[in-house]
Chain A
Amino acid sequence: MNAGRRRFVKLLGIGAATIGASLAGVSQLLRHLPLVKGDSDGSAENAPRKWGMIIDLKKCDGCRACTEACKIAHHIPFNQEWIKIYEVEDNPLTPPYHLPRPCMHCEEPPCRNVCPTGATYRRKDGVVLINHDRCIGCRYCMTACPYSARYFNWGDPPHTQEELAHEYSPEEPWPHIRGVVEKCDFCVTHGEKGILPPCVTGCPSGAIYYGDLAEDAVSNGQELLKVSEVVRVRQAFRYKEELGTGPRVYYLPRG
């Protein structure tokens, strides 16, 4: 073995050691910083919750009472409908029907995956939220969401005294500010207090059920459903679940 080659092998060894050490360092760093997943710990006290929703399409007549109740409760700017009623059609032989669309709070949210700053994150209880102090307004998440569940504050949102008096948190994201993306927060603070969200209580026909899927129970304020049973019996589906998003909102078909 000549000197040159020995030196080369030595350098190779040093190089490999350096790369190995730095990889170890980086992986340590990644573990401590919320870089990779962007997930926060969420509500530590009540973990592991699994907030979810069941919407009975048979009961929905598209009156938009849920949309309005949500708007008032969250002081939402006029261009946004955090729960929006769409008219959809399964096939040419069945009549079109109404589909209320909240944020699906996906288990594998495309919006979270594409966010460049980790402003969109998923809590341990499954609620996907947006940190408005972090959001740069690139709107990449809006292109990634297959449900069009996200809205952008293009201009200055109109304010009310009550809205301005509130203290901002990602869970209760108002006062609303310009240049950031907003969406349904799944009323996680309501859920933690044991209160039903305004869209649920606002629905005159009781079509929306909300609750902790880990407890296997959801409620529309009038009745309590056993999730596993109703999903099986009514052949519930999740909207666009074939995309692999893992939505936390189940629909009971009109069937």
Chain B
Amino acid sequence: MERAHESIISPAARLVILLVEEQLTDEEMERIIFKPIIKTGAGFYAVVAVLGGLVALGAYAYYVQLSEGLIVTGMTDIVIWGVYITNFVFFIGISHAGTLISAILRLTKAEWRRPITRMAEAITVFALLVGASMILIDLGRPDRMMNVPLYGRIGSAILWDFTSILAYLAGSMLYLYLPLIPDLARAKELKGIPRWKQKIYSFLSFKWKGTKEQKMRLERGISVMAIIIVPIAVSVHTVVSWIFSMTPRAGWHSTIFGPYFVVGAIFSGIASIIIAMAIFRKVFGFEKFLKPRHFKYLGLMLLTLNIAYIYFTLSEYLTAGYWGQESEGQLLAAIFGGEYATYFWIFVIFGLLVPAFILAIPQTRTIKGIVFASILVNIGMWIKRFIITVPSLALPQIGSEWGVYSPTWVEWSITIGAVAGFMLMFLIFSKFFPLISIWEIKEDPTTKKHVVDGPEPTSSKSAEGTVQIRSHSDSSAD
């Protein structure tokens, strides 16, 4: 609907229309956004029960693995990494959603970002937690995990990884937390919030009153974190790629891997935020905040990354395949036309080409189309990470016998449990914290919604009114 009038109406008039459309009072806005925190329906418990059951399945599988050893997996002395490492790369990739959407859009002052930053930042934290736990699950001796910080060797890419992931986790938690403060201060005053929750909010929001001084400091803190978090995020997926490319293996030892992985991470990260947005929009009725244009903008970003990933993929395989060592040739033969061809072509067709077409053609670039493309992208990118991890290991280093790998129920259960755990964390988060940053929407200079008890916005009919920049007056949220 919105798309229809966008094409025929001038930009100034469109702003007016947007304004009229966005005439939500602050009370209405808070009512919608805080509703999931105050009211919890039976559906929520049903979903939690299902997800909890799947997590329990994963936990049971891990218990079996702990008691029997990694022998219960399909991994062998040749294919020594499998689904766990695939999951690790996949979830660390997804964690890039938060940084990109939030930090980069914040730094470039893209105002449309405001309703989606919170969800993006939350994805980062949860995906990192799940991704990091995949490494622990893959360890033969998780009981000695502390040997990494205790005896860490600076020369090992795993130590680099350990360092940058911890830094990213700390940074992204802080980056999620800082913009929550004003909303939590507001949440503790809401009617219908139980006392124990009020205590949590009051603890977490310190003594936020929304004074000019506090706001200035908060904005400064958020800006600093936005700047710091970008290089850390880039380092994380670069180092993940370096774990592979620092080894003398065909298919891994490639200088392109750093940027290739970073682009892939942002690619699957954007797809994840689109899926999360679509789900919460439906479930919690966030249609008034998450509008078609948000999906369209993110869809276009996804398309950009999609094209970039096609370019990198082509560049990587063409260089290795046109002239490469014998082992590279064997590997590519197995990927393009052998053992792994099915996976590879599913990735290329349904993970890269189909989404690119859906996103590029205006007729299919609808919310449904964009969400569908995002789901394809995430499935495709999981397969791609599998294609990166397994074939290079299965390739014989001596002789001609290929390694075989077929994941067991333990590995699949832990994988399902991990995905369910990721969703569960998100769901529980949604019951404690507002999924949309209310104070940031109120401060959006393009909608001038900032004074609650003041007079109604008077200039909603004139285009000039939209130009007004954020007021610095004390606009505490009550």
Contact = CB atoms under 8 A, between A and B. Distances in A.
B175 to A, nearest CB: 26
A86 B398 contact: yes
Contacts of B76: 154
B70 interface: yes
B70 A114 contact: no
Contacts of A153: 69, 140
B77 A142 contact: yes
A137 B141 contact: yes
B145 A136 contact: yes
B243 interface: yes
Interface stretch (B151-159, B296-304, B330-338): B151-159
Given A87-B399, A151-B77, A138 B69 contact: no
B249 interface: yes
A143 interface: yes
B1 interface: no
A99 B152 contact: no
Contact of B154 (A36, A135, A145): A36
Contact of A35 (B80, B81, B152): B152
A35 B69 contact: no
Given A137-B139, A139-B80, A117 B247 contact: no
Among B135, B139, B151, B252, the most chain A Cβ lie within 10 Å of the Cβ of B151
Interface residues of A, number: 48
A115 interface: yes
Contact of A117 (B68, B75, B153): B153
Contacts of B376: none
A118 B151 contact: yes
Contacts of A165: none
B78 interface: yes
Contacts of B138: 138
A139 to B, nearest CB: 5
A155 B71 CA distance: 5
Contacts of B359: none
Contacts of A156: 69
Interface in A94-111: 99, 101, 110
B147 interface: yes
A146 B248 contact: yes
B157 A114 contact: yes
Interface string A115-157: 1111100000000000000111111101111111011111110
B80 A142 contact: yes
A150 to B, nearest CB: 8
A184 to B, nearest CB: 14
A114 B158 contact: yes
Interface SS majority for chain B: loop
A143 B393 contact: yes
Given A117-B148, A148-B398, A178 B69 contact: yes
A138 B77 contact: no
A179 interface: yes
Contacts, number: 139
A117 B152 contact: yes
Interface string B409-444: 000000000000000000000000000000000000
Contacts of A114: 155-158, 246-247
A160 interface: no
A249 to B, nearest CB: 13
B403 to A, nearest CB: 9
B144 interface: yes
B289 interface: no
Contacts of A113: 155-156, 246
Contacts of B244: 143
Among B75, B152, B247, the most chain A Cβ lie within 10 Å of the Cβ of B247
A140 B156 contact: yes
B398 A116 contact: no
A152 B78 contact: no
B397 interface: yes
B153 A138 contact: no
B177 interface: no
Given A35-B152, A155-B71, A179-B69, A138 B398 contact: no
Contact of A179 (B80, B140, B248, B252): B140
A60 interface: no
Contacts of B400: 87, 89
A136 B81 contact: no
Given A114-B157, A143-B393, A152-B140, A136 B148 contact: yes
A116 B145 contact: no
24 contacts: A35-B153, A79-B77, A101-B398, A114-B157, A114-B158, A114-B246, A115-B153, A116-B152, A117-B147, A117-B152, A134-B147, A136-B140, A138-B138, A142-B77, A143-B247, A148-B397, A152-B140, A154-B71, A154-B73, A154-B75, A178-B140, A179-B140, A180-B140, A181-B140
Given A86-B398, A155-B71, 18 more contacts: A36-B153, A80-B77, A88-B398, A88-B399, A89-B400, A114-B156, A117-B148, A117-B153, A118-B153, A136-B139, A137-B141, A139-B81, A139-B140, A152-B70, A154-B73, A154-B140, A179-B69, A180-B141
Interface of A: 30, 35-38, 79-80, 86-89, 99, 101, 110, 113-119, 134-140, 142-148, 150-156, 178-181, 239, 243
